[in-house]
């Protein structure tokens, strides 16, 4: 089978390798579509993410859809928790310290023709959900988890700082939750326009320098009840903390390239803020499938570029330059 491996800095190579054999409790999957995530780009451009570093050629890819040997189309949860630790037993498998995550560390991901994966991680998808839609269910799951942590209520004002695919999905979910004023920012003009198309009442172009003035103007100087930072950049973090109201929440979704998030303790303390960080997702796939299949959330328009596996290097280049929104590799 064809397999794409990351060997070093921006060095992806196509290999021929033996087809895997599924073990007990696993299914052999024929991969159909794989999304390139921001965390994949950290591996691609930095050879790691957080405290995980590239030590051997790695197959990336954790946003994916597949077909089982029996012909069933499925979306695939990329995380396999241990199921036995304190955190798994308390209902927080995303916090499992022994989780195996596709395309991370020493666990190969989905950028290959076939892979064996735990049957418990498979979620059937209807024919109304395309292969590319199926790959988008993972980032939608992260967005759902972020919104769950925020406990959004009808009538709230929401800020979204960073309008990549997950930020755009948070905008759609905030609108579904009854937010009456959604304000968004991004450094790229086409993503600002996408934010408006997804339901933001106000969307502004920003840069690396903190500038909360447009957000305050759009909220009549009040600020936002919940601020979602989804850019991973320091400017977005500072804007989120400056824009949120006293007693509000800041939800940190973005992954900074230097593995550090800095904010003013004085601002956070004086405002009495609740600060939450998003660790992947939990128990979100069934809801994600329902929302997409019923047309409540639009994932299809967020996929702007599709490439075959043989053009993976070009796909990663387009994704790194953030030319569009979501880049998908079709196997």
Kindly report, residue by residue over 269-318, the tens digit of the pLDDT.
999 999 999 999 999 999 999 999 999 999 999 999 999 999 999 999 99
Runs of H (alpha helix) within the chain: 38-46, 86-89, 131-150, 165-176, 189-198, 213-218, 234-243, 265-271, 285-293, 312-320
Q: Average the pLDDT over each of 11-15, 190-194, 205-209, 230-234 and give the range with the smallest value.
A: 205-209
Q: Which residue has the higher pLDDT, 258 or 93?
A: 93
What is residue 321's predicted lDDT score, i.e. its pLDDT? 96
- 3-class SS at 144? helix
What is residue 254's predicted lDDT score, i.e. its pLDDT? 96
What is residue 210's predicted lDDT score, i.e. its pLDDT? 84
Residue 33, classified by CB atoms within 10 Å of its CB into exposed (0-12), middle (13-18) or buried (19+), is buried
What is residue 212's predicted lDDT score, i.e. its pLDDT? 92
- Is the confidence at residue 209, as pLDDT, over 90? no
What is residue 265's predicted lDDT score, i.e. its pLDDT? 96
Kindly report, residue by residue over 100-158, the tens digit of the pLDDT.
999 999 999 999 999 999 999 999 999 999 999 999 999 999 999 999 999 999 999 99
The strands making up 202-205's β-sheet, listed across from edge to edge, are 202-205, 181-186, 157-161, 224-229, 244-252, 274-277
All domains in the chain, ordered by first residue: 2-124+299-330 (3.90.180.10), 141-277 (3.40.50.720)
Q: Which of 321, 255, 331 lies closest to 61 in space, CA to CA?
A: 331
Quick one: pLDDT band at residue 208, thresholds 50, 70, 90?
A: confident
Quick one: pLDDT band at residue 30, thresholds 50, 70, 90?
A: very high
What is residue 169's predicted lDDT score, i.e. its pLDDT? 98
Q: What is the mean pLDDT of residues 208-215?
A: 89
Q: What is the mean pLDDT of residues 253-260?
A: 92
Write down the pTM of the prediction.
Answer: 0.97
What is residue 41's predicted lDDT score, i.e. its pLDDT? 96
At which residue do the structure tokens 């990351």 appear?
6
What is residue 299's predicted lDDT score, i.e. its pLDDT? 98
User: Looking at the DSSP assignment, which residues form a beta bridge with residue 14?
Assistant: 4
Residue 308, classified by CB atoms within 10 Å of its CB into exposed (0-12), middle (13-18) or buried (19+), is exposed
The tokens describing 327, both together, are 């880049």
Residues 189, 101: Cα–Cα separation, whole Å: 33
**120 with 27: CB under 8 angstroms?**
no
Kindly report, residue by residue over 218-252, the tens digit of the pLDDT.
999 999 999 999 999 999 999 999 999 999 999 99
Q: What is the mean pLDDT of residues 82-111?
A: 97
Q: What is the mean pLDDT of residues 247-275?
A: 96
Quick one: pLDDT band at residue 27, thresholds 50, 70, 90?
A: very high
Kindly report, residue by residue over 7-26, the tens digit of the pLDDT.
999 999 999 999 999 999 99
Around Cβ 8, how many Cβ atoms within 10 Å?
Answer: 11
């Amino acid at each position: 089978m064809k397999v794409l491996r990351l060997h070093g800095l921006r060095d992806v190579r196509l290999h021929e390798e033996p087809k895997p054999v599924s073990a007990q409790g696993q299914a052999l999957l024929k991969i159909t579509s794989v999304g390139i995530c921001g965390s994949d780009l950290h591996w691609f451009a930095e050879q790691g993410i957080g405290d995980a570093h590239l030590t051997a050629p790695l197959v990336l890819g954790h946003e994916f859809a597949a077909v089982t040997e029996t012909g069933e189309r499925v979306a695939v949860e990329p995380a396999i928790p241990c199921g036995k630790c304190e955190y798994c037993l308390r209902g927080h498998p995303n916090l499992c310290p022994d989780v195996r995550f596709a395309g991370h560390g020493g666990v190969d991901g989905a950028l290959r023709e076939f892979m064996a994966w735990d049957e418990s991680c498979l979620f059937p998808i209807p024919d109304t959900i395309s292969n590319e839609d199926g790959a988008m269910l993972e980032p939608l799951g992260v967005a759902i988890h972020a919104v769950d942590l925020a406990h959004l209520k009808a009538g709230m004002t929401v800020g979204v700082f960073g309008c990549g695919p997950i930020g755009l999905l948070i905008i759609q979910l905030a609108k579904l939750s009854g937010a009456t004023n959604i304000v968004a920012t991004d450094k790229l003009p086409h993503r600002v326009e996408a934010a408006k198309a997804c339901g933001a009442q106000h969307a502004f172009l920003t840069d690396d320098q903190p500038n909360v003035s447009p957000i305050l103007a759009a909220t009549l100087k009040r600020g936002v009840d919940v601020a979602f930072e989804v850019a991973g950049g320091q400017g977005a973090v500072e804007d989120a903390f400056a824009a949120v109201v006293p007693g509000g929440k800041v939800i940190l979704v973005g992954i900074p390239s230097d593995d550090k998030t800095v904010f003013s303790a004085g601002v956070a303390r004086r405002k009495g803020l609740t600060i939450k960080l998003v660790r992947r997702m939990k128990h979100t796939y069934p809801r994600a499938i329902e929302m997409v299949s019923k047309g409540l959330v639009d994932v299809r328009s967020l996929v702007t570029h599709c490439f075959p596996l043989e053009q993976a290097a070009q796909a990663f280049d387009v994704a790194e330059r953030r030319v569009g929104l979501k880049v998908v590799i079709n196997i």
